[in-house]
Amino acid sequence: MSIKNVTVIGTGIMGAPMARNIAKAGFKLTVWNRTRAKAEALSDVATIADDPQAAVANADAIVTMVDNSPIVTEIYFGKKGVVETAPSGALFIDMSSIQPAVARDHAQTLAKTEHRHLDAPVSGGEKGALEGALAIMAGGDPTDFTEAEELLSSMGRATHVGIHGAGQVAKLANQVIVAVTIGAVSEAMLLAQEGGCDPAALRDALMGGFATSRILDLHGERMVERNFLPGGPLELQLKDLENTLEVARAANLELPLTEKTRDAFHQLAHEMKMGRHDHAAYLLWLEAINPGKRLGSGETSAPPLKA
């Protein structure tokens, strides 16, 4: 079965540029978003559906890109769930970041209704979504992945990593590296400044050595510029770290660096009310526990604190 008609549900910071790249690749695109205005911003490349059930009526593949497990479950199987109106054999591709166990449950339930499923979360943030350069980690049947590869490739580099749920586990592994590295970059830059280094020059000096990373490049720049407008919202990073530790407990694993980093993001989101900030705002937690220390001298750009 070839994929021609694609529906994207969830056209926010990530979903909108992903949808635009799908259309650019030549797929016939339909979109739906709970906040209609976000979907209508794609009216030049897509059909805007009035409700999610209508959105999937002719879909070969249904891509979901939303915040968490309960939302995906509601979209699939809720009162206005799309499974009832999706064509038999349609391929559900969930690119949200959710618990691996929930992804496996979704796959099993969809199979009972003669639908197919891939869990295919992404890494690369808004920049990667805009550039069609996301890292896509897919779990599920290899045949379904092969069928979906052209569609996934319109959004980035797709890799089949294993069985149902494996894509989500791979994303959690990614988030461990991202979160811990954001913490390490924050600490290194504040340390260097207090030791007499110019933070921007330090970042340039480290690029190309063993400390080079995407995090140092992009989030290091955010820290120097004190730009904490999202990007990748901090509350979603926290959700991924909580999911990571849930999987670790089930596997009888101790992940001390992940636990320490999770605690910092938890404090930022719940005590400091910075859940909407970019996850580079780990720097602000580090500054808070070091009174009087502040990276750089520029003004801070950030969204309003959560109520």
Same domain for 132 and 34:
yes
Domain that residue 43 falls in: 5-164
Same domain for 143 and 34:
yes
Give how many domains the chain has, as a whole number: 2
Q: Beta strand 134-140 with 116-119: parallel, antiparallel or unpaired?
A: antiparallel
| Active-site entry in 112, 171, 260, 306 | 171
Tell me which amino acid residue 251 is.
Answer: A
Task: Give the percent of the chain with pLDDT over 70.
Answer: 100
User: Within a domain: residue 124?
Assistant: yes
With beta carbons less than 8 A apart as the criterion, state whether 236 and 244 touch.
no
Residue 171 a catalytic site member: yes
User: Within a domain: residue 298?
Assistant: no
Residue 188 CA to residue 297 CA, distance in Å, equals: 17
User: Chain-wide mean pLDDT for the chain?
Assistant: 96
Same domain for 159 and 40:
yes
The runs of H, that is alpha helices, within the chain are 15-24, 36-40, 52-55, 69-77, 100-112, 125-131, 142-153, 166-194, 199-206, 214, 220-225, 234-250, 256-266, 282-288
Q: Is pLDDT at 1 greater than 80 in this prediction?
A: no
Which CATH number characterizes residue 54's domain?
Answer: 3.40.50.720
Paired tokens of 140? 């599920």
pLDDT tens digits for range 29-83 = 999 999 999 999 999 999 999 999 999 999 999 999 999 999 999 999 998 899 9
pLDDT tens digits for range 189-206 = 999 999 999 999 999 999
Which CATH number characterizes residue 213's domain?
Answer: 1.10.1040.10
